[in-house]
A and B are shown apart, each in its own frame.
Chain A
Amino acid sequence: MLEITLSKKESYTLIRLNGEVDASNSVELDQAIQEILAAGTKKILVDGSTLEYISSAGLGVFMSYLEDFQDNNIAFVIFGLNDKVQNVFHILGLDQLITIEKDQHEALARIYDA
């Protein structure tokens, strides 16, 4: 089960992921990011504090947008990952390619720092 909640804040968009991302639902995550990009958002925060699991299908979605984020100067930060999920990003070294912060406060500090 995966529940995706998008909320448009004053100067950024927040994606909240609740549950598990795998090959059966990663397309929903993909659509959510596409939707946000189409709206022209320049700052995207992903709240992963209730994300319980992610497989390569979910990682692949994030990876497929890294070039677009860079080319279009979009700040993208994931925060709140539990140890298990953070470890999955770490196995392939994705934690070096994607900005991951401990909590929302630090994630916001990071995007306004940029």
Chain B
Amino acid sequence: MKHWQEFMMHELKLACEKNRLGELRSFLSDILKPKDLNEIVQNQLILAVEEVCANLIIHSHNCNPDDFIKLRVTDDAHKITFEIFDSGQAFNILEYEAPDLSKVIKEKRKGGIGILLVKKIMDKIEFESKNSQNVCRLVKQLKSK
């Protein structure tokens, strides 16, 4: 008898507006809730994905509601993968040098720490860009019981 590994995929298309971030959080929350994750980890994953999306919406797409980003969530027993697709000028999260916290405070900057959170939360971050199609891939390993 064959055993197919359980595998799920969910997709969301999101207009590039800041007030869509709440919708993004409920989409992610619905996917993560049934999983055997504590609420701190669930919140961290929602946060990391939101930070990447907010960054794209605000900086790459200037909050243009005619632009869209697409989020795909796939998971199996061992890991959960979030892929964020957008088109246009690439924001390469891997090349972005996150600022030093003390510098952010000294300069009274209100932004710049989102990517730092993503890097602390996720186990693996990948970025690909081809013909103006960009994908940022965030992977979190799930601890087996």
Q: Which residues of A contact B (CB under 8 A)?
A: 1, 20, 22-24, 26, 30, 53, 55-57, 59-61, 63-68, 83-85, 87-88, 91-94, 97
Contacts and interface: CB of A to CB of B under 8 A. Distances in A.
A83 B39 contact: yes
Nearest to A88: B47
A91 B108 contact: no
B98 to A, nearest CB: 10
29 contacts: A20-B22, A22-B22, A23-B18, A23-B58, A26-B110, A30-B110, A53-B43, A55-B21, A55-B50, A56-B51, A56-B117, A57-B111, A60-B109, A60-B111, A61-B110, A63-B104, A63-B105, A63-B109, A63-B113, A64-B110, A67-B108, A68-B108, A83-B40, A84-B39, A85-B43, A88-B44, A88-B117, A92-B113, A92-B117
B19 interface: yes
Contacts, number: 89
A58 to B, nearest CB: 10
Contacts of A94: 101
Interface of B: 18-19, 21-22, 25, 39-40, 43-44, 46-47, 50-51, 54, 57-58, 101, 104-106, 108-114, 116-117, 120-121
Given A55-B54, A60-B109, A93-B101, 6 more contacts: A23-B57, A55-B50, A63-B101, A66-B105, A68-B108, A91-B44
A19 B51 CA distance: 18
A93 to B, nearest CB: 7
A109 B107 CA distance: 31
A91 B121 contact: yes
B43 A88 contact: yes
A84 B43 contact: yes
Nearest to B43: A84
Contacts of A64: 105, 108-110
Contacts of B121: 91
A92 B120 contact: yes
Residue among B40, B109, B110 with the most chain A CB within 10 A?
B110
A103 B105 CA distance: 26
